[in-house]
Amino acid sequence: MANEIAERTTLRSPLGRVRGLGSSKSGVHHWWLMRVTSVALLPLSIWLIFSLAGLAGAGHAEALAFIGRPFNAVLLLAFLAAAFHHTAYGVQVIIEDYANSEWAKMAGILVVKGLAVLLWLAASLAVLRIVLMHPPASAL
Amino acid sequence: MSIMKDSREATMIGHRSDGTTIRRPLSPHLQVYDMLQMSSALSISHRITGVVWAIGLVFLVWWLVAAAAGPSAFAAAQWFFSSFLGVILLLGLTAAAWYHTLAGVRHLAWDAGWGFDIPTMYRTGRAVLIGTAALTVLTWIVLLVAFS
């Protein structure tokens, strides 16, 4: 009977069990976000690769016209958001796997996240600038 | 439990299959595995192409910022991408991007619980490799048609 009781005991608090976040304190957040961004990036990156291939050798005006169209701008912004999130989380996993000391791991993760945010902002700002300052002659 | 005959056993010492001692890596890495299989090769390629695409993203940011900056900045960026080095870079980038995307779909299928048995895993692995080649060629056909 003591064995049955021992099998049923848990050291987790009731609140901890309800929250279900586990020892990482963020639960399945990282894993789930990778999946969500992956699914989002599937159509977005296929669109981006073929769109950029179609823009090969384009002049400045043609490129601006492409980015300036609201349809393309929206997809571009969505791609950038999903891509930088996905990349930051993915490189974080690589660093966690291979970093040799705790401080190297922490520094690596912070650098990657910082770079991702800065590059994301720079790219998104560029797209917004093009949309706002170079409106196409015929909208959409 | 075996009796440790050597004090080095207490530290992170591992052995290759032929007996040579190596310092055990923190995470399964190329130093330990001495056989390239569909499973391990495609897995590490997924990681490598992810890093390549991350670097490629930086080039995309450069292109977008150059387009917003003005004609001269954009012309410089287009000049680089149409140069020999730029073309090689874009070739590698498109191949890596397609591979990472297709291998990612394979991963999502695994997340859904499908395709774990060995024959299916080999079939999907081959599909990823063939698909990567096909889609890279298709992309470059589109690119060359647009360029001319």
Query: Residue B78: closest CA among chain A residues belongs to which residue?
Result: A57
CB spacing of A49 vs B74 below 8 angstroms: no
Read off the pLDDT of residues B27-43 as tens digits, 9 standing for 90 and up.
Answer: 666 666 666 788 888 99
A5-10, Cβ contacts within 8 angstroms, sequence gap of 24 or more:
none
Say if residues B114 and B108 touch (Cβ distance below 8 Å).
no
Q: Determine whether B83 is exposed, middle or buried from the number of CB atoms within 10 Å of its CB (0-12, 13-18, 19+).
A: exposed
**What is the rounded CA–CA span in Å between residue A97 and residue A104?**
12
**What is the rounded CA–CA span in Å between residue A129 and residue B65?**
9
Read off the pLDDT of residues B42-69 as tens digits, 9 standing for 90 and up.
Answer: 999 999 999 999 999 999 999 999 999 9
Higher per-residue pLDDT: B25 or B87: B87
Structure tokens at B100: 């990472």
B39 inside domain: no
pTM score above 0.95: no
Query: Residue B74: closest CA among chain A residues belongs to which residue?
Result: A60
**What is the rounded CA–CA span in Å between residue A126 and residue A128?**
5
Q: What is the dihedral of CA B126, B127, B131, B133, to 10 degrees?
A: 10
Q: Considering its fold, how many domains does chain B have in total?
A: 1
What residue numbers bound the domain in which B133 lies? 45-147
Which CATH number characterizes residue B71's domain? 1.20.1300.10
How many residue pairs bridge chain A and chain B with CB atoms within 8 Å of each other? 90
**Nearest in space to A91 (alpha carbons), one of B110, B128, B32, B52:** B52
Say if residues A123 and B60 touch (Cβ distance below 8 Å).
yes
- Which of B43, B52, B64 best tests the A interface by mutation, with the highest count of A CBs <10 A? B64
- CA B12 distance to own-chain centroid: 29
Q: What is the DSSP string of B34-51?
A: ----HHHHHHHHHHHHHH
CATH number of the domain located at residue range(s) A25-133 in this protein: 1.20.1300.10
CB spacing of A87 vs B53 below 8 angstroms: yes
Mean pLDDT score of chain A, rounded to an integer?
Answer: 89
Kindly provide the ipTM of the predicted complex, given to two decimals.
0.84
B2 inside domain: no
The DSSP bridge partners found for residue B15 are B21
Is the predicted pLDDT of residue A140 greater than 60, yes or no? Answer: no
Read off the pLDDT of residues A56-78 as tens digits, 9 standing for 90 and up.
Answer: 888 899 999 999 999 999 999 99
Chain B residues in contact with A94 by the CB 8 A cut-off are: 47, 50-51
Q: How far is A119 from chain B (nearest CA, A)?
A: 7
Q: What is the DSSP string of B95-119?
A: HHHHHHHHHHHHHHHHHTT---SHH
**What is the rounded CA–CA span in Å between residue A19 and residue A12?**
11
- Measured CB to CB, residues of chain A less than 8 Å from chain B are 35, 38-39, 41-42, 45-46, 49-50, 53-58, 60, 63-64, 67, 76, 83-84, 87, 90-91, 94, 97-98, 100, 119, 122-123, 125-127, 129-130
Per-residue pLDDT band at A136 (split at 50, 70, 90): low
| Domain residue spans of chain A | 25-133
Query: Residue A64: closest CA among chain B residues belongs to which residue?
Result: B67
Supply the angle between the helices B84-111 and B38-69 in degrees, to the nearest 10. Answer: 130
Chain A residues in contact with B140 by the CB 8 A cut-off are: 53
Per-residue pLDDT band at B1 (split at 50, 70, 90): very low
